[in-house]
Every structure is written in C-alpha cells, then in structure tokens.
Amino acid sequence: MTDHRTRTKAAPPIAIGWREWASLPELGVKRIKAKIDTGAKTSALHAFDIRAVERGGALFVEFAVHPIQKKKRPEVRCAAPVVARRRIKSSNGGTEERYVIRTKLKLGVKAFVIELSLANRDAMGFRLLLGRDALKKSFVVEPGRSYRLGRYQRISR
C-alpha cells in the first residue's frame, strides 16, 4: 500500500547580510541596525538605566534604549516581563548576569518572537546583536553582504 499523505515543505531560508535593519515593535523601537553574529548564541540589546520592578506579583524590567548608533537621541523607554536571569559570556570573554526578555523582532517581512539579553553595549558599534537562536529557523547569513532585506530610507524634511 502506498502512503499518500502530503507533507508541508518548510519555506526556504531567507538570505540576510552581516548587518540588517530591524525593529522591535513591542518595545517602541521603530528601527535599529542589527549586527548578525553567528558566533553568539544569544541575542543582545543595548540597554541602560536597567531596573527590576514588581508588577502584580510578576518581575518586570524597565530600561532605556538609544536605537541609533553613536547617538544619545532618541531615547526610548521600555518595559518587559523578565523571562530569566542568565550568565552570558560577552565578546571580551568575561561573563555577566543579565536580564532576559522575550519580544517581537521584525526583520524584513518576517516578524517573530526572540529572547534578548539586556546589556550596556554603548562601547560596541551595534545596539542590537542577533545570535544563532534568533536566526536558526528562517535565515541564512551571507557574510560578505549588507542590508539584503533593504536599506533604511530617510525621509527628507
């Protein structure tokens, strides 16, 4: 007997460059340059003024973000439930304990939920680092390319 069940084929992965424009709509971050880092497992967001607060018996974290590289403005105030506190190995080899949140990421036409650790990345060039866990199911990285999903278009005033 022949089995005629059909299988749904997974969509082919989307090609992205080593840097892309993204947004974090649930946090109010409309655009942010992301560095795609296949050497990092966890994704990280530059955050400062990080404070843990209790809301209705649940642990939340309040923080601020400077979404534009090398700029202190605009400043976006954010809050999100804490999903974990984890020891994360940083690029300099040291480990630090960070709050981890879950939020929606929009990358090109895809929108999906990822985990982000909150860290002061002020000294780093990119305010958002996307690691393997965020990318593994839907994307393939072309390290020699940038902005495969499109460049941000400034609106002239």
Tell me the per-residue pLDDT of 61-79, one tens digit each, with 9 for 90 and over.
999 999 988 888 899 999 9
Q: What is the pLDDT of residue 7?
A: 62
Judged against a pLDDT cut of 70, whether residue 116 lies above it is answered with: yes
Distance CA 1, CA 26 (A): 51
Judged against a pLDDT cut of 80, whether residue 157 lies above it is answered with: no
Q: Which domain holds residue 25?
A: 14-142
Residue 116 lies in a domain: yes
pLDDT over 90, % of the chain: 68
Judged against a pLDDT cut of 80, whether residue 146 lies above it is answered with: yes
- Structural domain count of the chain: 1
What pTM value is reported for the model? 0.86
Q: Of the given ranges (83-87, 126-130, 150-154), which has the lowest mean pLDDT?
A: 150-154
Residue 127 lies in a domain: yes
Q: How confident is the model at residue 9 (pLDDT cuts 50, 70, 90)?
A: confident
Q: What is the CATH number of the domain that holds 22?
A: 2.40.70.10
Residue 150 lies in a domain: no
Q: 152 exposed, middle or buried (CB, 10 Å; 0-12, 13-18, 19+)?
A: exposed
Residue 71 lies in a domain: yes
Q: What is the pLDDT of residue 88?
A: 86
